Chain A
Amino acid sequence: MHGIELIKQTFHLKEVPRIPWVPFVGCHAGSLLGLTATEYLTSADHIVNGVSKAVELYKPDGIPVAFDLQIEAEALGCRLSWADDNPPAVVSHPLAEGVDIDKLKIPCSCKARIPVVMEAARQLRSRYPDLALYGLVTGPFTLALHLMGTDIFMKMFDDPDHVHKVMRFATDLAIFMSGNYIEAGCDVIAMVDPMTSQIDPASFETFVTPYATEIFSFIRETGALSSFFVCGNAKQNIEVMCKCRPDNISIDENIPLGYVRDIALAHNISFGGNIKLTVSLLMGSEDDSRRDALECMDTGGKKGFILAPGCDLPMATPPENIIAVTELVHDEMLQGKLRASEAPVHEVEKIDLSNHWSDKQVVIDIITLDSSSCAPCQYMVNAVERAAKPFGNKVIFKEHRIKEKEGVQMMISLGVQNLPTIVIDGNIEFISQIPPVINIESKIQEYINARSL
């Protein structure tokens, strides 16, 4: 059975002979060609060559054209900060800088990098008839964040009408981009909305549900398949995500796969994920990657499950680790052998934190995947930065990226289980959800008062 058929059957909850495998190859493909993320993500030819290389190495059943949640924001005038080893980050938020929402228009398909990704999609479509091609569109809530910055969390309380207006626009844009990808020949439209993991189910139902439902309904009416990608700890929102009626939901390692499986299948929705991006694929060994993938496969099963990494593969992920997963997917015997063997136990060395705390300062640790490549992480770090500013040197904050060993050690040492998380003086205060800046400020004030700083 071809990859596209496996994926279609899985989306339709039919039992399949083999679990389909969709490596989320974004700018990682640039590293396969020896290019920087910037070079890679700005050229249709590079994207086509990079994805082709990934197809050759990783033998996927489906693959994204590109994984870059800044394409729409850039076309709307958000400034980007480009990096060599990450997709670009949005660094200006037009609606927070005086641009009127009524002045924003759906851009032309010729604007910024929209034609680059669409051209890549068309070429890949012609080149790979048997592969499920994923077109990734920025989810409306994440786009709203790009447009408004972290003001959105406050505005959800203060000025909900304004947030709805921005969501309306972001939804129209997501539908426009979905249509463009479908016209380019994509089979699956993945609406990637990681920022929705940062809000509670009630806010989700108010500010996301009506819009996401409309986007999935549009995709369904074209006959294409849809997926709702989220990352971060969206555990509380899995149920409401399913109610938006996508064909599939895809999650990262922050949420137990079994939990997602039960809720998704109860809603007749397929699901996917959640190989650990950093601990297994980026920093682990081939064996770690295989074992993690096998655990996902055994939990997911052959009905309704798509094996995938939790999110966009970090650029520096060793190809051997992804190839190890590929071999496992295609080799049932290897799966059996691995099941029967015992996994080596890895003990992460904890960090001695005795010198980490200060008598004169409140210490804030933010545990992230990497604020330069993960939107929720970026906006959480932004929020802390803004909240800490008025307190001057009474507060010190530091980001710990679990893309690095130190970050993983810090995460374990502080007892943090989800990303991103804000820890103040060793106490876990905000898990995954980005609070309004004012709430972080008052929390910091409590610490300052308690310690009479």
Chain B
Amino acid sequence: MPDHYKSDFFLITGFLGSGKTTFLRYILNTIGEKYRIAIIQNEFAPTGVDGKELKHTGKKFTLVEINNGSVFCVCQLSNFISTMEKLLEKYTPEMVFLEASGLSDPINILELLQYGNLQKKLNLRHIYAIADASNFFRSVNMPERIRHQLMIADTIILNKTDLCKEGTGKTEAEIRKLNPFADIIKTTYCEAILNGILEKRETSHTPAERFTGSKSAGRPDINTCVLRTHDKISEKNLYAFINELVPDSIRIKGFVNLSDGRTMAVQTVFEHVEYKEIEKYSGPIEIIVFSNNLTVKDVYGEFKKKISGTFTF
């Protein structure tokens, strides 16, 4: 296949809650009408929360989810290759965006794209890592894989700078230590200036090339737990439920059907909590909780307590 038939490939990495899906939403809103776009979302847990969020943009794009493990890990390698090949064949997208799990270790991205026929069909254009400026030092203290996300990036989008009262100087210095080659763009709500980047044809990826031959770390120690149910909860009890989980959570996101018929999108990053009422949601309650210690038992047990009436607000 001649080179010009290759689809452009973009990797988007970043820790939990840094703004990857927001970034994609911004991309769709900015250039979604102009190109045929395919998005692959990858999560360790079996959930389609991020995909549902993107569908709410109303933009046209092809979405594929690869769950149950990182695409950078051997266990999902064949699944990734076959999914990718089918996707390219069926939809011939001009641009493919891979949104990696916030817990994944993308250190071997260059090798990943060499497998099977992928190298003939994909042209790696750019690697973005998104960093949450307001929680930067908490996230880089996480396992090494999180630092790898920053170390391989061509561009690091330092997001949520509006929440940084003390400025971003220290953070930028730390990023420079991890990756002296990347461009750093400071933004709020991931509104990066895309024009230059998306049109630019990268010929090399110096940051990632430094790690050729490195192996991706496996499943992270962080627990992921999905709450999926057709039960409904009152607004007050939803707040109480989320408040109960927040102290032990790194990240919570998803959609919650309220007893009064409305649906609420929930987003938390560490102790920062956001609720937003959304329309046209038809699925069951689905939220994913990332934490160091919460289990299925804790999350479901707490939820059932809140809806069973044994709890009074």
Binding site for B on A (CB under 8 A): 4, 108-111, 115, 118-119, 122, 125-126, 129-130, 179, 182-185, 218, 221-224
Q: Which B residues from 285 to 303 make CB contacts under 8 A with A?
A: 295-297, 300-301, 303
CB distance from A215 to the nearest CB of B (A): 12
CB distance from B256 to the nearest CB of A (A): 14
CA distance A224 to B296 in the complex (A): 11
Residues of B within 8 A of A183 (CB): 45-46, 225-228, 296
Task: Encode B70-94 as 1/0 by CB contact (under 8 A) with A.
Answer: 0000011001000000000000000
Q: Which B residues from 259 to 313 make CB contacts under 8 A with A?
A: 283-284, 295-297, 300-301, 303-305, 308
Residues of B within 8 A of A222 (CB): 296-297, 300-301, 304
CA distance A111 to B301 in the complex (A): 27
Residue from B75, B229, B295 in contact with A110 in the complex, judged by beta carbons closer than 8 Å: B75
Residues of B within 8 A of A115 (CB): 46, 67-68
Closest to A109 in B: B68
5 A-B pairs closest in CB distance:
A223-B304, A222-B300, A185-B228, A179-B296, A110-B68
Closest to B45 in A: A183
Interface pair A221/B297, CB less than 8 Å apart = yes
Residues of A within 8 A of B68 (CB): 108-110, 115, 118
Interface SS majority for chain B: mixed
Interface pair A109/B228, CB less than 8 Å apart = no
In the complex, whether B69 has a CB less than 8 A from a CB of chain A is yes
CB distance from A5 to the nearest CB of B (A): 11
**Chain B CB within 10 Å, residue with most, of A109, A182, A183:** A183
Cross-chain pairs A/B with CB under 8 angstroms, 30 sampled: A108-B69, A108-B219, A110-B68, A110-B79, A115-B46, A122-B228, A126-B283, A179-B295, A182-B296, A183-B45, A183-B46, A183-B226, A183-B296, A184-B46, A184-B226, A184-B228, A185-B228, A185-B229, A185-B284, A218-B297, A221-B300, A222-B296, A222-B300, A222-B301, A222-B304, A223-B300, A223-B303, A223-B304, A223-B305, A223-B308
Residues of A within 8 A of B305 (CB): 223
Closest to B67 in A: A115
Binding site for A on B (CB under 8 A): 45-46, 67-69, 75-76, 79, 219, 225-230, 283-284, 295-297, 300-301, 303-305, 308
CA distance A218 to B300 in the complex (A): 11
CB distance from B302 to the nearest CB of A (A): 9
Closest to B308 in A: A223
Residues of A within 8 A of B283 (CB): 126
CB distance from B99 to the nearest CB of A (A): 18
CB distance from A447 to the nearest CB of B (A): 53
Closest to B219 in A: A108
**Chain B CB within 10 Å, residue with most, of A118, A122, A223:** A223
Closest to A114 in B: B68
Q: A115-B68, A119-B46, A129-B230 are known contacts. Are A182 and B300 too (CB-CB below 8 A)?
A: yes
CA distance A312 to B137 in the complex (A): 54
Closest to B299 in A: A222
Residues of A within 8 A of B75 (CB): 108, 110-111
CA distance A126 to B46 in the complex (A): 14
CA distance A184 to B301 in the complex (A): 15
CA distance A130 to B69 in the complex (A): 30
CB distance from B55 to the nearest CB of A (A): 14
A110-B69, A111-B75 given; 11 more Cβ-contact pairs under 8 Å: A108-B69, A109-B46, A110-B68, A110-B75, A118-B68, A125-B228, A129-B230, A183-B225, A222-B300, A223-B300, A223-B304
